[in-house]
Each structure stands twice: as structure tokens, then as C-alpha cells.
Structure 1
């Protein structure tokens, strides 16, 4: 990684270390936890959309699988929360592997509709299996316990998700600079050209989809344990669109853009709390304006402008 990338990672670590000591109350600490959770999810989704160029409009379905695995397995079968979380993540990865090859033969609108259909199927299954999932009403989630220690307070969860965010950013930056990451960027640019130079396009598409689904499922489990209650809204269409919006607003093919997009759009509903029902309108308006004035997203656009300024 170059010096600028390291500087960004070190800056993130400093912010995460200082943040819990400067926020005025637990409300803002809770908001910071949710921002970090969304940032990790969006980084994985950006690897799929921004770097590999493969759209997914049903990604919240994998969050739902992870969340319900962490709720159902400990509640009904007595599984340890960590075992349940890993089982949900493996189930999500397996499902992604099974559907990825036929889905990613499609392109454009057809690919978007196929991923949307996958998310809808998962959401319907979670709603209909009321005996296990509580149906539309949802169900409680048992606390997360590690080595006999129960993670309960907002501050404890903050340090957990902050550590996961740093590891995710570090791992993603290294992945992007690896031969695997260069192959992803190549197939985003041109699948035909990638095949000509020997890139196995199908394998890389499946691999990044599986990785993104696995990451989303893990964070679905983390989010479920943190909140303590889940409903099928975890896996609905609007949540998927919200995640894609975070990718686009922050910046396609930008790890730090994913963080910025997650922070902005997690905070936005709180800022619009007095205008109940207008959050979706705001998401749509911001996305539209971003696509018009900053089609590359906030972070890549600002980075390009500052780079031009440095060259003068």
C-alpha cells in the first residue's frame, strides 16, 4: 500500500480510538456502532459493485440469513452464539456460491433483477417460517458471549466493531492491491479483455460474491446481537437499496468512500427524525444529485480535485 493509503488507515485508527471519549452520551455511541457495522457491510458490497462491477440489489438477504442464524440456532437449539454466527456465514457463502454462476452470466438490468429476486426470496422465507423466525413480528436474540464474557454495553460493542472495521479496511486494501484485486478491476473494465489476458472471469465473479455474502452475514449476526431483536426488515428490498446507495454516495471502488457513505446515510435518518416518512425521499434525492454532480461518488471526486490542486 502507498503512503496515502497508510495515512488513511492510521487516521481511521486514531478517530476510532478517540471517538468514544468525545461523544456526549450513549445515543451518539450507539450511532457510531451502527455506522461501523454499516461501513463493514458496505466495504464488502463495494468490492462486488465498485471493484468487480457486479450489481447486487438483494444483499440484505445475506444479512438476514446471518441475523436469523444467530437468533434461531441459540434460541431453539441451544447453539453457542459464535457457532451459530459462523454457521450462518457459511450458509450464506454456500448459497452465494450456488447461485452466483448462473446469476452472473446475466448483465445489466437482468443481473440487477436476478439479485433482487434472490433477496426477495430470502425475505419471504424469513417471513413465512413463523414457527422458527416469529414471522413478520420478528424475534429476540440472545446476548453474544465470548470465552464466558457477555458483550452487553454500547461501549463494549463499540470496541468490537471498531476492531472489525480496522481489520476489514486493512484486509480490503491489501486485497485490492493483490493479483486478485487487479483481476477484479480488470473484469470491471472489460470482461472480454480480461479473458484474453487469462483471467478466469466466472471464478473471480463467484469468489467476490461469496466473500461479500460471507462478510454481510457476519455483520448481520453482529447487528442482531447488538440490537437484541430482529425482524424480516433486516432482509427487505429497501435495506438492500440503502446499502447500494451508501456505496454510490461514498464512492464506487473506494474503501474509504464506503466508510463515508455509511457514516452519512446512517446519520441522515437521525437528522431527519423530525420529518417522519421523508427519509426515503431524501435518500432518492441525494442519490440523484450525486449521480448528476458527482458520478464517481464523494471521496473519489474530492480526491481527484485535491490531486489536481497538488499538481498546480
Structure 2
């Protein structure tokens, strides 16, 4: 890992340490916590889309698996929250491993449609299974406890998510600098060339899809325990598109772009609320202008203009 990347991680940690001094109420804490949750999900999704070059338009389905695993196992079967979270992550990883091989035989828009269909299937299952999930109305989730300590209140959740985000950024940076990360970048550039030099393309595609699904599932569980309630909306199509947009706006194949994209697109709807009915128009215009003038994403474009690496 280069010194510049260590510097970027240090900046994130410093901001997280100082930020509570500027958060004035519970709403501000809630917004920052949601930014951090989205950032961790987008980090995993960017490893799949940005670094490996594989699209996923149904990724919110894995978030739903984690959220409902935590809700169902803790409420109906009295599992410990951490055990339920681990079970959800294992279920999401297993499902991703099972569907990855047939899905990733497809290319282009066929691949996009396949992942989109997977997301729709998961969302419909969560909405229709009323006995355990509460159907469209959703269901409550018990508080998160760790070693007998109940995580309650925005300040406690802020520090938990600050730690999780810092570790996730550090892990992502190390991953992309590892032989595994170099293999991902190679198959993104050319699958044929990657095979020629000995990269097992299928195995790496499956592995990164599973890893990104586990990222999403864990954050789904975290979201469920933080909010205290879960509905099928957590797994819907629009949530998946929102996550992909965060990847694109921040910058594909950019770890810090993932964080910036998640922060901006989580905060933007709140900032546009003053437009009173024109929020969607303003939001679309901003995204369109971003794609025109920042085609590679915000962080890579600014880094290139400054003559620096990410």
C-alpha cells in the first residue's frame, strides 16, 4: 500500500474522530451513521463492479437477507444478534456462490438482467412470506448486544460505525494491493489475457461476488438492529440502483470514491428537500451533469486533474 493511500485512510479516521464536535442533534448523527453503512456496502460493491468489472443490479437483495436473518432469528428463534448476523452473512455468501457460476457466464446486458432478476426474486420472497417477515408491513428487530453491552443511541452507533468503516477501508486497500486484487484488475482489463497468464477467471468472479454479498448482508443486519425495524423496501430495485449510482458517482475502481459517493448520495436528498416537489428533478440534473463532466467519477477525475493517484 502506498503512503498516499495511508494518508487517505488517516484523513478518514481524523474526520471520524473530529466530526462529533460538529453534530448538533440526533438527526445529524443518524445521517452520518447511514452514510457509513452505505459506504461499507458500496466498498464491497465497487470491488465487484469497479475492480472486477462485473455488474450487479440486485445487490440490495443481499442486504435484505442480512436484515431479515437478524430480524427472524432473534425474534422468532431467540438467537443472539451476532450469531444471527453471522448466519445471514453465511446465507448470503452461499446463495451468491450458488448463483455466481451460471450468472457470470453471461456478458453485458444479459448479466445485468440476470442480477436484476435475482434481486427481484429476493425482494418478492421477503414481501410475500408474511408468517416470518411480516409481509409488506415489515417486522421489529431486537437491539444489538455485544458481550452483554446493548448498543443504544446515536452516539454509540456512531462510534461503532466509525470503527467498522475505518476497518473496511483499510481492508479494501490491502485487498486491491494483494495478488487477489491484482487478479481482479487483470480480469477487468481482459478475461482472455488473464486466462493466458494463469488467472482462474471463474474462481475470482465467484469469490468477489461472494465477498461483496457478505459485505452487503452484514450491513443489512447492522441496519436492521440500528433502526429497530425492517421492511421489504430494504431489498427493492431502487435501493440496488442507488448503490450502483454511488459507485459510479464516487468513482469506479476507487476505494475513496466509494466513500465519497456514499456520503454525497446519502446527504443529497436531504439537501434537496428545500426544493419542495422538485427534489427528483434536481437530483437527476446533478447526476446527469456529474456523468457529463466527471465521467470517471468524482475522486478519479479530481485526482487526475491534480496529477495524483487516488
Q: In terms of mean alpha carbon deviation, does 285-294 or 12-21 score higher?
A: 285-294
Unpaired runs of at least 5, structure 2 = none
Shift of 1:36: 0.4
Partner of 1:269: 269
SS of match in other structure, 1:295: coil
Q: Does 1:149 align with 2:185?
A: no
Query: How does 1:136-285 map onto structure 2 within 5 Å?
Result: 136-275=136-275, 278-285=278-285
1:127–1:232 Cα contact (<8 Å) kept = yes
Distance in structure 1 (CA, Å) of the matches to 2:282 and 2:99:
33
Distance in structure 2 (CA, Å) of the matches to 1:57 and 1:155:
33
Task: Provide, for residues 254-284 of structure 1, a one-character-per-residue CA deviation record: whole Å limited to 9, x for no partner.
Answer: 0000000000000011112234665544444
Q: What do you get for the CA RMSD once the two structures are aligned?
A: 1.3
Q: In terms of mean alpha carbon deviation, does 267-276 or 15-24 score higher?
A: 267-276
Partner of 2:97: 97
Shift of 1:22: 2.0
SS of match in other structure, 1:272: helix
1:122–1:235 Cα contact (<8 Å) kept = yes
Shift of 1:295: 1.2
Partner of 2:74: 74
SS of match in other structure, 1:58: coil
Query: How does 1:108-127 map onto structure 2 within 5 Å?
Result: 108-127=108-127
Distance in structure 1 (CA, Å) of the matches to 2:181 and 2:213:
17
Task: Provide, for residues 67-109 of structure 1, a one-character-per-residue CA deviation record: whole Å limited to 9, x for no partner.
Answer: 0011111111111111001000000000000000000011110
Shift of 1:26: 1.8
2:56–2:112 Cα contact (<8 Å) kept = yes
Q: Does 1:292 align with 2:304?
A: no
Task: Provide, for residues 190-212 of structure 1, a one-character-per-residue CA deviation record: whole Å limited to 9, x for no partner.
Answer: 11111111110000000000000
Shift of 1:50: 0.3
Partner of 1:15: 15
Distance in structure 1 (CA, Å) of the matches to 2:276 and 2:75:
34
2:251–2:261 Cα contact (<8 Å) kept = yes
Partner of 2:44: 44
Distance in structure 1 (CA, Å) of the matches to 2:179 and 2:307:
26
Shift of 1:137: 0.7
Q: In terms of mean alpha carbon deviation, does 274-283 or 124-133 score higher?
A: 274-283
Distance in structure 1 (CA, Å) of the matches to 2:264 and 2:20:
18
Distance in structure 2 (CA, Å) of the matches to 1:202 and 1:89:
22
Partner of 1:34: 34
Pair 279,62 (structure 1): closer, same or farther in 2 beyond 3 Å? farther
Unpaired runs of at least 5, structure 1 = none
Pair 281,88 (structure 1): closer, same or farther in 2 beyond 3 Å? farther
Distance in structure 2 (CA, Å) of the matches to 1:217 and 1:141:
15
**TM-score, normalization by structure 2:** 0.97
**TM-score, normalization by structure 1:** 0.96
